[in-house]
Chain A
Amino acid sequence: MRRLISFRDFDWVLLGFVLLLSVVSVLEIYSATLHTKFIHFDQKQVMWLLGGLVCMFALSLVNYHLLLDIAHWAYGFCIVALLAVLLVGQRVLGARRWIRLGSIHFQPSEWVKLVLIVAVARYFSHLAGRNLSWGDIFKAMAMVGLPMLLVLKQPDLGTALTYAPILLCGLFLGGISFKKAAILVLAGGLAIVPAWYKVLKPYQKQRLTSFLQPDTDPRGSGYQIRQSLIAVGSGGIWGKGATKGTQTQGDFLPIPYTDFIFAAFGEEHGFVGAALVLLLYFLILMRLIQNAQTAADLPGTLIVMGVVAVLIFQIAVNVGMVIGLMPVTGIPLPLMSYGGSSVLFTFLALGIVMNIRMSRFVN
């Protein structure tokens, strides 16, 4: 039956929060790139945001059930794309992450996230109502684990890690029993040991540990964390003012327009500014969860919660890294960090969420 979709049900409030945060992001990118060769990245970010908005509106018009239906094809295509990256991808800074199609550089690992959210939602909605068997659980783990390994191989630890919350969220909402969850946690804890020695590269290990003692090697791997802490801490309560951050403007803070943008913002706008950004994240996430609650069906809820899981994970890891609670993993801060792939992921995800919201009374 034909659905009637009305923009009256579009989540304008959510979009308002998102755009507010985007404006903050653009302003901070402007400030952080003012005296660097990346000047005018704020304008490029505006273009990405406009593109993202168009994609969001476009995708909000596409019934999410259609996406669920093609999820297995999309998943297959993602695996092929990730394999292609490993075989023919562009090597940038030692890692193959990009595919070049004509003049467009394409980083599939970001899109895989979106596909995984939909695919995992579809998988668990099929199992709805049942107690998850070990077979169900391992299938889900394999589904997320395969792209994760491929991305880890690029190597891109940060993006690979962002796939994990999708699985965890799916398992939690999909109905894993407490006993099985406890066993999985234990097994995961034990698996860390071989993973540490076999899978991770030395620089990755160093990054994962240096945040614990950033001062042991202030010129080496602890440098980034140290400079980030100085930036945030020296911002104080009110901050040093836009474009006035000495750590940001003096190029002491590493990549202050992408991974460390929250440190740059915290330096220039202080605790008050940073708390307001966290508040905006809180409002956005609460609004999303509310949309998950009101979704018309189980896969809708699962998709929205998948988006929530990815976002809160990235916020936790990125801001945690900036303030020294997490290791440096290279995960961008959604809606704040500069970067087309990240912007497009976020807005496409929002597009799906919007469609789910607009479809809530249509049945």
Chain B
Amino acid sequence: MAASHHSDEKIPAIKLTAMQYLVALVLVILLSGLWRLQVLGARNYRALAQANRVRKVPILGARGKIFDRDGRLIVDNYPSVTCFLVPEQARDLDADLPLIARGLHLDVEQLQSTLFHFRHQPKYQPIPLKEDITPDELAFIAAHGNELPELETIDEQRRLYPSNGFAAHLIGYVGEVSEEMLDDPRYAFYQPGDVVGRSGIEEAYDPILRGQDGSRDVIVDSHGRELGVLGTEPTVPGTPLKLTIDLDVQEAAEKALGPRSGAIVAIDPRTGEVLAMVSHPTFDPNDFAIRIHRDEWNKLITDPEHPLLNKAIQAQLAPGSTFKIIEAIAGLQEGIAQALTVDCHGGAIFYGRYFKCWISARHQGHGITDISKGIYQSCDVYFYTLAEKLGIEKIAEWAHKFGLGEKTGIDLPNEAAGIMPSEEWKMRNYHQKWFAGETISVGIGQGATAVTPIQLVRAIAGIASGGVLKRPHVVFPDEIPPAYREYFQEQFPGSGDKIVPIDPANWEIVTDAMAQVTTYAGTAGMAHLDGIDFAGKTGTAQTVSNEYKKNIGGGGVKLRDNAWFVGVSPRRNPEIAVVILWENGAEGYLSARLAAQVIEAYVDKQRRMANNLHLPTEKHAASVAAPKSTHAATTPTATQQPIEMAGLWNAAAGSPSLYPGAHEIPYGPGTVLRGARFPLPTTAPATHSTSMLQSKFRRKAAASGSGMR
């Protein structure tokens, strides 16, 4: 059987040789292919291999901290970790969900809905699961790196704002950069997902505050898992910003306004520095630092009290009688008011219509009234008459000189311009002629006149300063890097610094009359401060006409008059000017009492510093429990417990330990200085050692705990 295979036939040798050449040829072709790739193309393919495996992981740069004028910390950063889920890296995502939910303290349903929400994005895109995770959640992720390769974390520095909405409108908040902002060349620096200042100082000074993101060059595998680190490009933290705000004055203003709706601005008229800026009701900017919940946002934007509106620079309301100061200067400078006296009987007829004086509700009238009494008694009849004599054009001209109807140029976003009506204004906006009767209303700050609190305080403080008006600002100009100064100048156009020449005699008449306002003879006698030269002007501005109120039967709280007060101290060349807007506060003198609290806090601090009494020091802070004896020795008036600032941060931090320095910030005893016999300080306030304060507030242990929420 096997024999059948035996054959003497042989394959020609040439065919086997041909096969040998074929094999050699194939191998030479393959070799040349290798040569092409590995010798000729090596450089190109090495670059491709490098691009394959190296990924730039951004490290987010911290924003600059924000300090008050004395170097006390207002806005800090804290390290925060966000947990992401990368679906591509999961082995069995559905099976992992219960474990992830348990470790991150989330509901499985919540997790599923998050994943459902992001179901359309590519699988390699990280889905944010939980922001600001706690140390034990971070430990969970680290410990389950093998079982749950889909979980990733990103470290970042988050904003920590004072709690309870302290100075919230002034500071603003940060949020994710929006689509529209990305189209704006000003935000060319940013990429989607970046955090950017969205309001207040955070927005206005974003170019300075923002840090520069660094990056880590990470070696990854094809699934994006990290295999190692090649190198890092460090972050550049944002520049710290020192505000003109004085925390002591700010705190006093917050307390003064309290639960009332309205605004307080305190400025130093000599420089335009804003010492305090409050708008109530307020909001907690910490809610924005992490993505704000939809419900919370809806509540904020639908609230009729407009908590997101910075009323200090955005509310445009009738100034009421506070306008009389401007009108008085106009009348005096025009030479009309000096000789003008009226006999107030509680009202007068102008252009065929009877205009009431506010006094008519209580008394017969003001009787014989000159310019001085007109101011401190706020006699409407006097200013009706003066307005009639001046005419709307002169009133508008002088109001414009003092910056009404125009932005002040404060370095905060979205300042409102207000309205100063005139014949030309009415024609332009309503295509109607000016009615003479309207001038009478404008004379007492009603009618179409609308001012912002910052405008009003700057105008009246400017008059008290002899006609020197400064551009209000919240950041010291020399704190801004020179390269940015012009930029910021252009960002915030307004009337800026200006000088309105005022006759010294007229200046004295008006400022003396303003000082009378807070005496028994004036409209705000209840706000009198012994030992402090406190001058001002009340304003009670109608929100609706009296007829309307009568028609609807009273109207209740919401239709009550807005209570204004603008106060200065001292009366001439004041160091501080305060405006109070108390919406529906009913009576201007009630606002005057709030202004008095702010002025008092300021003066109190200046006196203590001038006398080297009780500077905020570490020594004081260390003994919170038993400070009384030392205080009694150094501060004769310190009869009350020091007011601690701890409450500012505690709610945001979750635990006081997060801010080792915060609860030690001493706040001067908020005592009433009635009867104190200290001269008004003339020297500049003593300055603190900034570095000492900064080091005090520097976090002792960076990872001592993340904020819990």
Contacts and interface: CB of A to CB of B under 8 A. Distances in A.
Interface string A245-269: 0110111100000000000001000
A274 interface: yes
A235 B27 CA distance: 19
A297 interface: yes
A305 B222 CA distance: 42
A257 B199 CA distance: 57
Given A128-B7, A252-B222, A274 B16 contact: no
A262 to B, nearest CB: 9
Q: From DSSP, what is the main secondary structure of chain B's interface residues? A: helix
B49 A246 contact: yes
Contacts of A68: 2, 5
Interface string B376-408: 000000000000000000000000000000000
A185 to B, nearest CB: 15
Contact of B7 (A231, A278, A297, A320): A297
Given A68-B5, A246-B52, A247-B52, A232 B16 contact: no
A125 interface: yes
Given A232-B34, A275-B31, A173 B5 contact: no
B45 interface: yes
Interface residues of B, number: 45
Contacts of B629: none
Contacts of A320: 30, 33
A296 B35 CA distance: 40
Interface string B1-22: 1101111011101011001101
B49 A230 contact: yes
A12 interface: no
A229 B10 contact: no
A19 interface: no
Contacts of A252: 49, 52-53, 221-222
A161 interface: no
B34 A236 contact: no
B221 A232 contact: no
B31 A278 contact: yes
Given A275-B31, A298-B10, A173 B48 contact: no
B34 A274 contact: yes
Q: From DSSP, what is the main secondary structure of chain A's interface residues? A: helix
Given A236-B42, A237-B38, A323 B22 contact: no
B29 A125 contact: no
Nearest to A66: B2
B551 interface: no
A293 B13 CA distance: 7
B312 interface: no
B5 A172 contact: no
Contact of B45 (A125, A233, A281): A233
A68 B1 CA distance: 11
Contacts of A172: 15
A247 B52 CA distance: 8
B44 interface: yes
Nearest to A289: B20
B48 A230 contact: yes
Given A122-B5, A250-B219, A320-B33, A305 B19 contact: yes
Contacts of B10: 298, 301
A282 B13 contact: no
A251 B223 contact: yes
B46 interface: yes
A323 to B, nearest CB: 4
Interface string B30-58: 11011111110110111011101100000
B16 A286 contact: no
B23 A271 contact: no
A297 B41 CA distance: 48
Contacts of A278: 27, 30-31, 34
Contacts of B5: 65, 68-69, 122, 125, 297, 299
A270 interface: yes
Contacts of A266: 34, 37-38
B30 A323 contact: yes
B26 interface: yes
Contacts of A301: 10-11, 16
Interface string A29-73: 000000100000000000000000000000000000110110000
A236 B38 contact: yes
Given A271-B35, A305-B19, A320-B30, A250 B46 contact: no
A234 interface: yes
Contacts of A312: 22-23, 26
A324 interface: yes
A173 B15 contact: yes
Contact of A323 (B7, B27, B33, B44): B33
Given A266-B34, A271-B34, A308 B48 contact: no
B34 A275 contact: yes
Contacts of B33: 319-320, 323-325
B291 to A, nearest CB: 31
30 contacts: A66-B2, A69-B1, A69-B2, A122-B5, A129-B7, A169-B19, A172-B15, A229-B45, A230-B48, A230-B52, A232-B34, A232-B45, A233-B42, A233-B44, A233-B48, A234-B46, A236-B39, A250-B222, A251-B222, A266-B38, A270-B38, A271-B39, A275-B34, A282-B23, A315-B27, A316-B30, A319-B33, A320-B30, A320-B33, A323-B37
Given A169-B19, A247-B52, A252-B221, 16 more contacts: A68-B2, A69-B1, A69-B2, A128-B7, A231-B49, A233-B44, A236-B46, A246-B49, A247-B53, A250-B219, A252-B52, A278-B31, A298-B7, A299-B5, A323-B36, A325-B30
> Which 5 A-B pairs have CB atoms at the shortest separation, nearest pair first?
A233-B45, A234-B49, A128-B9, A271-B38, A236-B42
